[in-house]
Structure 1
Amino acid sequence: MGIYDYVVKDKQGEDVSLSRYKGKVLLIVNTATGCGFTPQYNGLQTLYEKYKEQGLEVLDFPCNQFANQAPGSDAQISDFCSLRYHITFDQFSKICVNGEKEDPLYTYLKSQKGGVMGKNIKWNFTKFLVNKEGHIVARYGSAKAPEDMESEIVRLLEE
């Protein structure tokens, strides 16, 4: 299977096939609304606004597995992100990124790019960068600011 074979739930609970993103550069992020890294939403939105016309998509997957930092419902999380950070990129239903209830998409992402200290996601705002062909080309930890990925995103958009 490849990334385009996965189906995820949007924030309204509807199925979304990732095949709708074929030919796009994807930045896939597990997020939380109450985390020290939450201000990275600003950087994600800035990148999205700057490069969406060239084919960048940011896919936001809220996750409450790390210190209960995304405790709200999908609607509450969406409202927070819209009001506080004015995000306009695609946000999906809250998921698990590790463990027994891990979403199959994250099983796949981690199988393609393990982390520095193993495959498990270590914290909120871990980022996966996917090229236009659907290959996972990079994995970044929470501390990597979105703006620090800009040159790599531009390179992939130009390929």
Structure 2
Amino acid sequence: MDTKTKISDFELTGINGKPLKLSDYAGKVLIIVNTASKCGFAPQMQGLEDLYKKYGQDGLVVVGTPSNQFHQELANDEDTASYCQAHYGVTFPLSQRVRVNGADEDPLWAYLKEQSGGGRIKWNFTKFVIDRHGEVIRRYAPATRPAAMEETIRAALNLKK
């Protein structure tokens, strides 16, 4: 990967079919997460939405990237969007489904893995926190609840305790 690549260089396709440019979030703290509606960790979407609502005004953006790589996503993007909204009240941006591993993995996910030094994505709900300068500052395992990330997020947002 080009050493000049940065997080703001990436663009996904939003679940609504429109461009989802990470450059639109320059200067924000990001959580980028691979989601799957039928995964046992899917209730984390509520925790991610809670963080987004709590810290959005301070500069936090959650970007969910549905993936069926582990065979736990619904049939299509429309079903995914409806499910996330109906069951978890998701208002944070979602992309169309992506692949997070392999020869046809999404370039953003290749970059996130490279920057974090963490290797392959082992399961749904792997979470990356990116600081306001576009640097990957932390990779969280799928089992890590969003609330457990709050200290890292507050520090990245430069919020006092």
Task: Say whether the fold is shared (TM-score over 0.5).
Answer: yes
User: Which position in structure 1 is the counterpart of 2:113?
Assistant: 110
User: Which position in structure 2 is the counterpart of 1:2?
Assistant: 6
Q: Counterparts of 1:3-152 in structure 2 under 5 Å?
A: 3-66=7-70, 68-115=71-118, 119-152=119-152
SS in 1 for 2:75: coil
Partner Cα separation in structure 1 for residue 47 and residue 151 of structure 2: 14
How far residue 114 of structure 1 moved from its aligned partner, in angstroms, is: 2.5
Partner Cα separation in structure 2 for residue 47 and residue 17 of structure 1: 21
For 1:64-118, what per-residue CA distance to the aligned partner results, in whole angstroms no more than 9, with x for missing partners? 011x100321110000000010011111110000012100000100000122xxx
SS in 2 for 1:75: helix
Is residue 17–residue 96 contact of structure 2 (8 Å, CA) maintained in 1? yes
Number of residue pairs matched by the alignment = 155
- Give the TM-score taking structure 1 as reference length: 0.95
SS in 1 for 2:63: strand
Letter in structure 2 aligned against 1:2 = K
How far residue 17 of structure 1 moved from its aligned partner, in angstroms, is: 1.8
How far residue 153 of structure 1 moved from its aligned partner, in angstroms, is: 0.2
SS in 2 for 1:91: coil
User: Which position in structure 2 is the counterpart of 1:156?
Assistant: 156
Letter in structure 1 aligned against 2:81 = S
Is residue 14–residue 20 contact of structure 2 (8 Å, CA) maintained in 1? yes
Is residue 20–residue 95 contact of structure 2 (8 Å, CA) maintained in 1? no
Q: Percent identity?
A: 45
SS in 2 for 1:89: coil
Is residue 131–residue 137 contact of structure 2 (8 Å, CA) maintained in 1? yes
Is residue 114–residue 120 contact of structure 1 (8 Å, CA) maintained in 2? no
How far residue 42 of structure 1 moved from its aligned partner, in angstroms, is: 1.1
- Give the TM-score taking structure 2 as reference length: 0.94
Structure 2 residue runs without a partner (length 5+): none
Letter in structure 2 aligned against 1:18 = L
SS in 2 for 1:158: coil
Partner Cα separation in structure 2 for residue 92 and residue 29 of structure 1: 10
